[in-house]
Structure formats: C-alpha cells, structure tokens
Amino acid sequence: MLAINPRMMSTKEQISEEVLLDEETVKQNEIVLFNDEVNTFDHVIETLMAVCEHTPEQAEQCSLIVHYNGKCTVKTGEYKDLEPRCTGLLQAGLSAEIV
C-alpha cells in the first residue's frame, strides 16, 4: 500500500480529504414508522408532511409501504435532527423509533 505524505499534497487535496473523512464520521440514523390498526391513511400522510416535511407523494408512498410491509424508513439524518421529529410522530399517535 502506498503511503501519502500529507505535506506533499496540495492544500485543495488536503481539504478534500478532510471533508471526506468528516462525512464518513457523521452517524446517519433513521426514523422507522411501524404499521398499526388505529391510524387512517389520511392521518399518517398529513403527519408525515407536517413532521417529516414530506411531499404529499412521499407521504402517500411511505404510508403504503408501512401498510404492506409493516414498516418504512421515513427520515434519515443525524440523531439531533431526528429526535424531535420522532417525538412529533409519537405525539400524533403513530408508532415510530430511531434506529
């Protein structure tokens, strides 16, 4: 394996490498929404649009996936962004968790 001496890299190359390393270390989590026998499609769709900022089409597709598969990832990102969104889903009576 060839070792690269950072002092021989251009400033642009060093910054690019640092950005790539930073992107790799950001932990991506997911909000998973689970099917239930209580909530209507309309309620799920409206809640996903309000809480997760889905378009109507995204929200409808997610609600159908949840209905037929039992669960669906509805939002991906950093935990600090997902936590209040997941709380919003739970407060609306939906079943969700961050994984």
| Residue ranges covered by each domain of the chain | 28-98
**Fold category of 28-98 in CATH:** Ribosomal Protein L30; Chain: A, (3.30.1390)
Joined tokens for residue 91: 């407060």
Over residues 8-35, mean pLDDT: 74
Check pLDDT > 70 for residue 42. yes
Tokens 């642009």 -> residue: 12
Alpha-carbon span 19 to 4, nearest angstrom: 17
Alpha-carbon span 6 to 13, nearest angstrom: 9
Alpha-carbon span 72 to 15, nearest angstrom: 37
**What pLDDT is attached to residue 66?**
98
Alpha-carbon span 31 to 97, nearest angstrom: 6
Alpha-carbon span 97 to 87, nearest angstrom: 9
Longest CA pairwise span in the chain (Å): 62
What global pTM score does this model have? 0.75
Check pLDDT > 80 for residue 29. yes
Give 91 or 10, the one with higher predicted confidence: 91
Split at pLDDT 50, 70, 90, the class of 62 is very high
